[in-house]
Structure 1
């Protein structure tokens, strides 16, 4: 068992946790974008209905209600856009954390590979030394 096995296992656990957080952040960001699209669709539908109704004739009170409602929808759209922006920032932050964890895991794996090479080289040297000593003892003087 390598001295890096525990570090690699822990790094893998942290990487998995970071991947899960990133996945959740991405899902939240996608949901926020879907909600924004729904709000925009509702605005378009309402504008279209009001345009059709306006062609048929609307009262001043209906027009005032329409403008007030459109203002509230505009506010809702802006608020949802801010939510989309926050969700995107959160996703990017979680992605960066995941990339950092992956980088750390790769570093440990490189160190472990180097350690294996170093130990194999050490073992080969020891074996060669033993063979050389054995050969030296077998030589007739």
Structure 2
């Protein structure tokens, strides 16, 4: 059977969907790292806040108290920025996932066209083979009924 006209399209579409899958995976990794950094900041903030409560119950100077609050404010700002980073990473991941889904659908459509073409070709070959078998049987019948030298 000759090489299919759809085979190149399937190969190219597969390469594009694999490339899109890699980009989606990178975006997913970035999103996971951004979430992890946000969780770490939140844990550190909670730990630091607990130190403030513990230190406050034991007594601390006004300057120490102000330093604690200043640092907590900086942590709050860092968390806001990190949440924004998580949002950006989420948006990027969603776009990359949509791009991959689009490329995957195209790949599957070309793959289906290739499959249909192969099925049509197999049916045609089966018909050709049946025709050859019928012609051979007809010749044999003709030869038996009319003699081989007729």
Q: TM-score, normalised by structure 1?
A: 0.88
By how many angstroms is 1:21 displaced?
0.6
Deviations 1:26-73 (A, max 9, x none): 111111011001101110111111111111212222222222221111
2:72 to 62, 70, 73: 70
Count of residue pairs brought into register by the alignment? 141
Match of 1:96 in 2: 98
In the alignment, structure 2 segments of 5+ residues that lack a partner are: none
By how many angstroms is 1:113 displaced?
0.9
Instruction: Out of 130-139 and 47-56, give the one that drifted further.
Output: 130-139
1:113 to 112, 115, 135: 115
- Whole-Å separation in 2 of the counterparts to 1:2 and 1:89: 39
Match of 2:88 in 1: 86
By how many angstroms is 1:76 displaced?
0.7
1:42 to 35, 44, 51: 44
- Whole-Å separation in 1 of the counterparts to 2:32 and 2:130: 62
In the alignment, structure 1 segments of 5+ residues that lack a partner are: none
Q: Which has the larger radius of gyration?
A: 2
By how many angstroms is 1:126 displaced?
3.3
Q: TM-score, normalised by structure 2?
A: 0.83
Deviations 1:77-131 (A, max 9, x none): 1110111121122112212211221111111111011111112222333344445
- Whole-Å separation in 1 of the counterparts to 2:123 and 2:81: 63
